[in-house]
Each structure stands twice: as structure tokens, then as C-alpha cells.
Amino acid sequence: MATLENKKEKEAWENFLFSLENKLPGFVSPWIKDLEPVLPLFENSKNDIFLIKSSQSFGIQVLQQKHLKEVEETLFESTNLKRSVRFILDETIKPKKKQKQTLEQKEHLEIAKKMENMTQMHSFCGLNLKYTFENFIEGENSRFAYNIAKMISETPGQKYNPLFISGSVGLGKTHLMQAIGHKILKNFPNLKIRYTKAEEFGNKLIESLNSCKNTSDLNEKMRKFRDMHRNVDVLLIDDIQWIDGKKRTEEEIFNTFDALYHAGKQIVFASDRPLSAFELIPDRLRSRFEWGIEANIKIPNLETRIEIVKHHANLSNYPISDDVALFLAQEYNSNIRELEGAYNKISARASIEGVELTVDIAKEYLGFFEKKKKITIENILETCAKYFCVEKEDILSSARAKEIVNARKYAIYLSRELLDLSYPLLAQEFRKNHTTIMYQHEKLKKDISQNKAMKIITDELSQLIQK
């Protein structure tokens, strides 16, 4: 442990580990052996928070979630440091000695394997331990955003301020934004970081404004609120699109931004919408967002998706074969959250049922072999109405507007094709006479055979109906 050069410190740390091991249940002890202080012990005395690192993500979760109080007490007893303890994951640390797993520990790991999202643990400043740069697979789709994020975590508040990360849902914006937080914590453990979602920010603001009894109460509550968001070195605000058009929150974000920006603090926003698609924000706030840089994350290509799902599988302690990774990456091609969700679902089930995860098993677990939904006139009408943006009742009426006529003719055609109903029965359902129905069906059939666009529409509708 290079950081514990000083003999006294080394002894104090060993003392702490030894006491902790004695205090906590036996199965925890192999994880305790691997703990290391992030800073030299007594340098920590300047901070309120005591950072402890380890390479064992699950061990950290157990200690943080179940034994934090004992860890803090023991730290105080052995080192005289009264601090809030926070654990950080550092996969670069080599485990001390390959410990033989105890039975109890094995059981815990089994449970962990079966948990859908074992790494979903939030540490002190609201960061998810999984969302680090090390766990982010960089691809062409994210290279620009990734490089800027890295630069920011080396020199926060200096260049690229604010960073505005945009991209559609499930593409890694939150991950990348939190990776900045983790890295800054590692590079500069004294800096204060706050991660919040815009909605949480807005709700807390309104709560502070609404719940006060008198002016001094209001002032006190607002002081606390502002302190929480302005008394930081790095502010990460996620899902900022939420504020668009919410005047009071926009104003508070504007003031928070100015206070932090002028003090040289780093601000990062993430948004499901590009800045250009914000419609209602006031110009002065838009211009603040534009002061820095916007980095857009796009959909990753197949190779990157394969890499992402494999990495996620390894992290979750349940690796998958190349075939299964390829299958998942092909099926889930536009949202990594869904891709990981599919993996979580099938790996949890395979591990509980003790079967080997093959592509066929994956298909079965994901319902690919399930019988197609039962088709009814009702759902043909609903799908066609939705597709052409009309009402179901319009289709059954005699209205002649273009979209309604279109919706009606496809609904009639598909009812005949998919349900094989007789013309008189269809006539009854569609409230028309049966020669009209027959004519409509024959006409569209002919049109489809000659017109590619109409064929595509029919196929799309047919797929939607059967989905």
C-alpha cells in the first residue's frame, strides 16, 4: 500500500481492518482485507468524507448497504477519525490474496448473480458504481462525447463548460455523465460533486417553496436548497429536457448555473433532446447552455452493441457466448437499456433454472416462440386508426376525409386477409353494404400488387396488428 508510507498510519489501518473483521460476520472478511484508503489516512482528517476503495464491487455494496455504521464506528475507534465513509470501486487494485470463498460468501454471490441489476448501488453523491469510464464501451457513436467527458474529468471547470450531452433514450448519457463524477472523485477527492435529475431538482424546489410557514422559514428552506446545489464543485444535472417550459425551475437553474459558472465550477447536462429541440426555454438560459459544447451520442453499431452486452454480462458475473451476444445485439438495436434488460431477464432465469444459456433458450425466455396474439376486428380497427391518426369511430362512419378513407380501406382489406371473414359479416362490422366491402377489398388487393408504398404500409400494419 504505497499510500501508507508512514508506520503509524499503517498500524492504524491494520488495526482498523482487524477490528472490523472481528466485528462483522465471517463471510465479509475476505472483502475487508482488500480495502484501501484513497488518501493517506491522516490527510483525510481535512475532509468530512473518508473514501475507501476496493476492487470488489459486490463486497463494497454489502459493506455500504449493510455495515456502514459499524465501519464508521470502527474507523473512529481505531484512528480517531470521525468521518462519513464512502466506498469507491477501483478495479485496478489487485486482490491481496486469493481467498478461499466461504460457503456463506458463495451463497451471497449466488444471490448477487440472480439479482437483476447487482451493480445498481448508489453511493454517497448519487452515483451508480457501474457508471464509470472503465465500464463504458466507446464506439464511433460516442467517441466525441467520451473524449470530451474524459478531458473534463482531468480538468473540471476549465474547458468545455457546460457540457451538454444529448442523445436518445438508453444510449449511455447518464452513464457517461456519472463517469465524469467518478473520475473527478478519484482525481480530486476533495471536490464536491452532486448528481441530480432535473425533475428531482424541480420537485425539491417547489417543495421548498410550498412547504414554508413564513418568510424566515422560506428563506431558510431556500438557503438549504441553494446550498445543496451551489455549494459544489461539479454539478451534474440529468434529463434537463424536463425543465423545458417550467418557468420557476428554469429560473432557478439559470441562477444556479450563473453562480457555479462564475465561480469556475464544472456543469454537465444530459438530455434526451438536442438543444435545438428545446422549444420553450427562455433565450438567456438557452444561450448559457450554448456557452460550452454539445456532444451527441448516437446509436451504437452492431460490433459495439455486442461488446457492450458482453461487458455487462461479465460485470454481472454471468458471461454469455458469442452466439447469444450476437443474437441479443441484433434484436435490440436502438436502446442499450433494453439490450441489457433482455440480458438481465434471460441470465437471471437461466441461472435460477440452472440451464445453459443458448440462443434457443434466449429466444424462448424472451417469448419469441409464443403464439401470435389473437387478432380481432377491434384491434385491426384500433391499429389502423392509430396509424392514420384518426378515430376508430371515423372508420365506421361514412366520412370522406382522405386519412379516414385510407384507414377504412386498409382496415377492411386486413380484416378479410387476416381473419378470413365473409363479405356479409364484414359489411355488418363496418356498417356498409357488402358490395362496397367486396369492391374495397378487391381494389386494394390490386393496388398493393402494383404499388410498392402501399405494400409497405400493408405489411407494417399487419405486423403491428400481430405484435
Q: What is the 3-state secondary structure (H, E, C) of 57-82?
A: HHHHHHHHHHCHHHHHHHHHHHHCCC
337 is a site residue for ligand ADP (CB under 6 A): yes
3-state secondary structure of 364: helix
Q: Measured from the CB of residue 174, what is the shortest distance to Mg ion in angstroms?
A: 3
d(CA 237, CA 415): 49
Measured from the CB atom, the residue of 174 and 241 that comes closer to Mg ion is: 174
For residue 32, what is its C-alpha cell? 475487508
Partner in contact with 170, chosen from ligand ADP, Mg ion, none, beta carbon below 5 to 8 Å by kind: ligand ADP
Window of 26-34, 130-138, 249-257, 351-359 that interacts with ligand ADP by CB under 6 A:
130-138
- Give the H/E segment covering residue 29: helix 29-33
Measured from the CB atom, the residue of 41 and 163 that comes closer to ligand ADP is: 163
d(CA 245, CA 363): 43
Partner in contact with 137, chosen from ligand ADP, Mg ion, none, beta carbon below 5 to 8 Å by kind: ligand ADP
Strand order from edge to edge, sheet including 193-197: 193-197, 234-238, 266-271, 163-167, 293-297
Measured from the CB atom, the residue of 71 and 118 that comes closer to ligand ADP is: 118
3-state secondary structure of 236: strand
> Which of 270, 240, 282, 268 has the alpha carbon at shortest distance from 162?
268
Question: Could you say which residues in the range 266-325 bind ligand ADP, by CB under 6 A?
Answer: 308
Q: Measured from the CB of residue 346, what is the shortest distance to Mg ion in angstroms?
A: 23
Partner in contact with 167, chosen from Mg ion, ligand ADP, none, beta carbon below 5 to 8 Å by kind: ligand ADP
Partner in contact with 336, chosen from ligand ADP, Mg ion, none, beta carbon below 5 to 8 Å by kind: ligand ADP
> Which of 438, 406, 410, 408 has the alpha carbon at shortest distance from 422?
438
Measured from the CB atom, the residue of 166 and 458 that comes closer to Mg ion is: 166
User: Residue-wise over 83-114: b if at least 16 C-beta within 10 A, else e?
Assistant: bebbbbbbeeeeeeeeeeeeeebeebeeebbb
What is 422-450 written as a DSSP string? -HHHHHHHHTS-HHHHHHHHHHHHHHHHH
- Crossing angle of helices 377-387 and 402-419, in 10° steps, is 150
| Residue of the chain from 9, 36, 294, 340 that contacts ligand ADP (CB under 6 A) | 340
Question: x/- string (CB under 6 A) for ligand ADP, residues 175-214?
Answer: x---------------------------------------
Measured from the CB atom, the residue of 135 and 208 that comes closer to ligand ADP is: 135
174 is a site residue for Mg ion (CB under 5 A): yes
d(CA 452, CA 467): 22
C-beta of residue 27 within 8 angstroms of C-beta of residue 105: yes
Q: Measured from the CB of residue 243, what is the shortest distance to ligand ADP in angstroms?
A: 16
Measured from the CB atom, the residue of 173 and 408 that comes closer to ligand ADP is: 173
Report the DSSP beta bridge partners of residue 197.
Answer: 238
Instruction: Report CA Rg, the chain.
Output: 29
Measured from the CB atom, the residue of 240 and 381 that comes closer to ligand ADP is: 240
Q: Tell me if the bond preceding 162 is cis, omega within 30° of 0.
A: yes
Measured from the CB atom, the residue of 336 and 427 that comes closer to Mg ion is: 336
Site size toward ligand ADP, by CB under 6 A = 18
345 is a site residue for ligand ADP (CB under 6 A): no
Q: Measured from the CB of residue 116, what is the shortest distance to ligand ADP in angstroms?
A: 11
Partner in contact with 136, chosen from ligand ADP, Mg ion, none, beta carbon below 5 to 8 Å by kind: ligand ADP
Measured from the CB atom, the residue of 174 and 317 that comes closer to Mg ion is: 174
Q: Measured from the CB of residue 11, what is the shortest distance to ligand ADP in angstroms?
A: 40
Q: Measured from the CB of residue 58, what is the shortest distance to ligand ADP in angstroms?
A: 17
For residue 444, what is its C-alpha cell? 386494394
Q: Measured from the CB of residue 279, what is the shortest distance to ligand ADP in angstroms?
A: 21
Measured from the CB atom, the residue of 59 and 170 that comes closer to ligand ADP is: 170
Cα pseudo-dihedral 431, 437, 440, 444, rounded to 10: 110
d(CA 360, CA 382): 33
Question: Could you say which residues in the range 136-175 bind ligand ADP, by CB under 6 A?
Answer: 136-137, 142, 167, 169-175
Q: Measured from the CB of residue 13, what is the shortest distance to ligand ADP in angstroms?
A: 33
Look-up of cell digits 366520412 = 399
Q: Measured from the CB of residue 239, what is the shortest distance to Mg ion in angstroms?
A: 6
Which spans of this chain sit near Mg ion (rule: CB under 5 A)? 174
**Residue ranges binding ligand ADP (CB under 6 A):** 130-131, 135-137, 142, 167, 169-175, 308, 336-337, 340
